[in-house]
Structure 1
Amino acid sequence: MDKLKQTRLGSEGLVVPAIGLGCMGMTPGFGFEELYGKTDEKEAIATIHRSLELGGNFLDTADAYGPFLNEQLIAKAMGGNRSQYIIATKFGIEVNDEGAYTGLVNGKANYVRKAVERSLKNLQTDYIDLYYLHRLDKTTPVEETVAALAELVKEGKVRYIGLSEVSSATIRKAHKVHPLTAVQTEYSLFERSLEEDGIYDTLNQLGIGLVAYSPLGRGFLSGQFRSPDDYSASDFRRHIPKTSGDQFYKNLELLKEIEAMAAEKGITSTQLALAWVMAKGAVPIPGTKRVKYVESNIAATKIELTPKDMDHLESIIPLGAQTGARYGEAGMQQVD
């Protein structure tokens, strides 16, 4: 078996596979019984194990997924093989001691400490490879949050730190306190706002890695959904502007062009979309909970796109194209 391509995130030495595994959809969360369709713990664990067999040992989770259930699932999947995995988790979407969301974002130093101890317990480990602030606490200077994270690095509880869904200004302020290894944000052919907002250039200038969540447009680029009604009644994608109402059908017309290009290359639209993200220098973390999909996703690392291919794809959905908001109004208010 060919070794899975590796890439370096940031300048501090974290080397990860060219593609990771987003685990969010493996458990319920955020009040939805099904984030991305029905969950099956046995199949989810099999998917994590198959990913590892193929070299895909970079797992992404968060304390807010469940809450706590996702980290606990990953601990169960790892068993006694913690050293074989690179674990990224997130904190900041506040969860109280009873395991309930408070509706707040908390980046205060004392909460950083509380959250990391809880995640270490749920993950059944004594260190976290990459620890992100999930959303910016707009009531707390980011410098305070990052200083607290830097203390965890000194103590060995966290190896590397990052931020999620933050602006260029926030990235620059945080990076002065302690080097950021990665910034995680939504990035796909259908969501290129970080290029328009200058975030993409800022990361390249500072040597910070880009980790792309929802690189398949929350599964839309797989082509398996041809109507909003194809999502189950309890699937949260029915409530996101990008994948509901008239916008769904507008995006579907763009998807058909991507599917035609993929067919010409003899690959799937999913693989083409992932190859584009990787060619842009990002590490995609597509979420799946099925073995067949993780195999297909990892196979995308072998696809090489030419400059002509990239130009064609970006002409289908150019910068500035209106593909719909990523979240509802409340969700977008949490984006820096």
Structure 2
Amino acid sequence: MSATQKNIDEMIADIKLPQNVIDNLNRELKERKVTKKQMEEIVKRLHSGYDNAKIEAGEAAGVVSAQSIGEPGTQMTMRTFHYAGVAEINVTLGLPRLIEIVDARKNPSTPMMTIFLEKNYSHDRDKARELAWKIEATYINVLGSISTDITEMKVLIDLNKKALTQRNMTSKEIADRIEEELGVSCEIKGDTLVLEPGKPSYRELLQLVKSLHSVILKGIKGIKRVVIRKEDTGEYVLYTEGSVLKEVLAIEGVDATRTRTNNVNEIFEVMGIEAARQALINEATDTLKEQGLNVDVRHIMLVSDIMTVDGDVKPIGRHGISGEKASVLARAAFEVTVNHLLDSGMRGDVDELRGVTENVIVGQPIRLGTGNVKLIARKAK
């Protein structure tokens, strides 16, 4: 090994890069045949970038992140709904959406999915439309009109031939589905379905009509609407009102590598904690950018890391991160002050005054920055 190569290896080792990054770097060098001088410049820049990225010991990273996200938050609008480039699909944006993200809400107020399709589907409108019908929950009121015959005690469904053809469905399929779901006999007479309730009573008849409206004949429960949009790239993308990630990913033709939802908890359940962490970063960044606010991604990364560090998606609030702080005073300073103090008093808890909040409360220097440095006088000999 040449002296220069040895120096380069030592410089790389100093930066403490992960082994996979070093392997990729070496592979790139072999493929591109970089000169030793160029390689030294690369390592030098890497070293410089790494040093610039490091924060000083004792830096109040948490406080800086809180300020960096909180201040732009005051400039965000309160507008809740917005057509996200797609007609008919409402999406919560602005401050309400940011609150939803940091609260790790189990169900967002406007759940939606962006479904990307595989190559043989994404450029064919008919195939994309066919997939949309597979995903969108189809109810009877879309396929025909319901009427009641009180004299005969029967429910009549007049099917729309055009709607059936469009959704690739038959009268028999619908009749079988209704029989399976409601357990009533369903007779096909031309384009009309005739249903009889279990008992010949007016109450049963009304109950049957009510139940009919909730039967899903095709598609996925929870997906209220699917809109197809042709993107600038020329491919068709499906936007849904409602989110059921697991079932949608199982459908043939859906590109599972790019399909996403705005429901972080659903991503966590289907894909795991790492995907949920990335989803939190993406959702918060997109929400701020949509409002024209530019926040350094590292502040958002810190928040999402804290929310997911225990392998679960926790809210930043008294039911999550803030409620689990070791310090009694820090918990009391956030919300429900009296309850925290009473409970801690009964248990005989001890506060070690390690954090920022508790030290501010008792009026002593915080353990950050200059407050993190202690001078000890050496004994004179």
Please indicate the TM-score interval, normalised by the length of the shorter structure: under 0.3
Richer in helix (by share)? 2
Q: Which has the larger radius of gyration?
A: 2
TM-score where L is the length of structure 2: 0.20
TM-score where L is the length of structure 1: 0.22
The structure with higher relative contact order (CA 8 Å, sep 6+) is: 1
